Amino acid sequence: MNVVWTTEALRMLDEIEQFIAQDNPQRASDFIDRLLEKGDSIASFPEMGRVVPEIAQPGIREILVGTYRIVYKETPDHIVILTVFEGHRSMRYEELDP
């Protein structure tokens, strides 16, 4: 099964990298690599993530990487990474528009 990153998810990765790079560009690059690897690993175990609590839809799951949340859904053909964001805030349903 393939993993597809939405435009929103890639935009969020870019924002995360820019934010971290203000203090440490190498750490920012390494962390983005870690997020990408973790997201791509979902293909092997699509049900490894928990259901997003504030959405409460069985098809919308998330995995945690440090304090960040990678939100995804499984389709018959692939895994769609919907968004990535810092875990201190709640997710809004409108962020799920792939």
| Residue-level pLDDT, tens digit, the chain, 98 residues | 899 999 999 999 999 999 999 999 999 999 999 999 999 999 999 999 999 988 888 889 999 999 999 999 999 999 999 999 987 766 655 556 54
- Asked: is 2-89 a CATH 2.10.109.10 domain? The reply is no
Output the pTM of the full model.
0.88
- Please state the three-class secondary structure of the chain as a single string: CEEEECHHHHHHHHHHHHHHHCCCHHHHHHHHHHHHHHHHHCCCCHHHCEECCCCCCCCEEEEEECCEEEEEEECCCEEEEEEEEECCCCCCHHHHCC
